[in-house]
Amino acid sequence: MNDPVKEPAAAPGGRPILSLRGISKNFGAVAALTDVDLDVSPGEVVAVVGDNGAGKSTLVKVLAGVHRPDAGTLTFADREVTVASPADAHALGIATVFQDLALCENLNVIQNLFLGRELRRARLDEVTMEIRSWELLRQLSAKIPTVRVPVASLSGGQRQTVAIARTLLGDPRVIVLDEPTAALGVAQTAEVLNLIERLRERGLGVIMISHNMEDVRAVADRVVVLRLGRNNGVFAAEAPSEEIVAAMIGASDNVVSRRAGRARSVKGEA
Ligand SMILES: Nc1ncnc2c1ncn2[C@@H]1O[C@H](COP(=O)(O)OP(=O)(O)O)[C@@H](O)[C@H]1O
Ligand SMILES: [Mg+2]
């Protein structure tokens, strides 16, 4: 096979914790994903980018156990696995923060963090939950002024932080973030990007879906491009944005091979 797109699929950061190979998913006549490969290693941030309809959300849902792929394999911690339900994903240690965050606006930060897994002794152990909440937010260097306010009064960045912190209570090894900076202002975006760096420092494998090339380049170790449901290039974060965008929109179908050619000639000169 002389397809240059697939060559750099292996993560440089060490052994992948999660590997997808040949994942396909059809909805009737629509091929949402075709033969998709993806790797993420512990302590690595992989950005998945692509135009609308590229299959990003479908990929997230395959990882979350919402959709079963029609073909392909998932390997987690060197074991081939099936993720047939969200409970399977959770049990393996794959956590997903969906774009809508699924927080309860009227509940406070502690209640949201522990929703569905409240610590109980004789009664709800509010003191322990509050202490755990602060610990968790401190580990993430999160700027949340108080954990006793309803989530409705927090900024978009703070809500994203709460949603991510909540998944960490399940002790995941891979975290999938769907458009974590969409609709955030500059300062809040910076906060969320910091948070993603904390996740990487903790040794999690992070898969970040994004449209925003600046955010991607600020935080990702590698950038995986999907186009029309297929892999269309893997880039280092330092690659010029125009080249990544060209791969996303297919402006130049040989952008990847051109880039590979240039990388070779640069190396040759050095
Ligand atoms: N549940 C579904 N039923 C039918 N078609 C779907 C469904 N989900 C996604 N698709 C189709 O699959 C393709 C990929 O969609 P999606 O994964 O949402 O892309 P993205 O998130 O990159 O915009 C699109 O053509 C979309 O219309
Ligand atoms: Mg989508």
pLDDT tens-digit series, residues 117-133: 776 665 667 888 888 88
What element of type H or E holds 224?
Answer: strand 222-227
What is the CATH classification number for the domain harbouring 207? 3.40.50.300
Amino acid 268: pLDDT: 47
For residues 242-260, average pLDDT: 72
Amino acid 148: pLDDT: 87
Name the pLDDT band for 2 (thresholds 50, 70, 90): very low
Q: Is residue 150 part of a domain?
A: no
How far is residue 188's CA from residue 186's CA, in Å, rounded to a whole number? 6
- Can you list the alpha helix ranges (DSSP code H) found in the chain? 56-64, 86-92, 109-113, 126-139, 156-168, 186-201, 213-219, 241-249, 255-269
Residue-wise pLDDT for 162-187, tens only, equals 888 888 888 899 999 998 888 788 88
Give percent of the chain above pLDDT 90.
Answer: 46
Tokens coding 68: 């079963």
Tokens coding 243: 């080249």
Q: Is residue 165 part of a domain?
A: no
Three-state DSSP state, 148: coil
In the DSSP assignment, the letter for residue 115 is: T
Q: Is residue 56 part of a domain?
A: yes
10-24, 30-44, 46-60: which has the minimum mean pLDDT?
10-24
Residue 190 belongs to domain spanning: 4-104+173-255
Q: CA torsion, points 263, 264, 269, 270, in degrees to nearest 10?
A: 70
Amino acid 260: pLDDT: 55
Residue-wise pLDDT for 188-200, tens only, equals 888 889 989 999 9
Q: CA torsion, points 214, 219, 223, 229, in degrees to nearest 10?
A: -80
Number of domains making up the chain: 1
Amino acid 149: pLDDT: 87
Amino acid 5: pLDDT: 44
Q: Is residue 66 part of a domain?
A: yes
Q: Is residue 109 part of a domain?
A: no
Is the distance from the beta carbon of residue 53 to the nearest atom of ligand 1 less than 6 Å?
yes
Phi, psi of 99 (to 5 degrees): -65, -30
Three-state DSSP state, 183: coil
Strand bridging mode 174-178 / 205-210: parallel
Starting from the CA of residue 55, give the closest ligand.
1
Q: Is residue 140 part of a domain?
A: no
Residues 165, 129: contact at Cβ < 8 Å?
Answer: no
Is the distance from the beta carbon of residue 50 to the nearest atom of ligand 1 less than 6 Å?
yes
In the DSSP assignment, the letter for residue 105 is: T
Amino acid 7: pLDDT: 41
pLDDT value at 156 more than 90: no
Q: Is residue 161 part of a domain?
A: no
How far is residue 121's CA from residue 127's CA, in Å, rounded to a whole number? 11
Which of ligand 1's atoms lies nearest the C-alpha of 52?
23
Q: Is residue 157 part of a domain?
A: no
For residues 55-84, average pLDDT: 95
Which of ligand 1's atoms lies nearest the C-alpha of 54?
22
Amino acid 222: pLDDT: 96
Nearest CA, atom 10, ligand 1: 32
pTM of the model: 0.84
Ligand 1 site-directed mutation target among 23, 26, 27, most atoms within 8 Å of CB: 27
What element of type H or E holds 119?
Answer: none
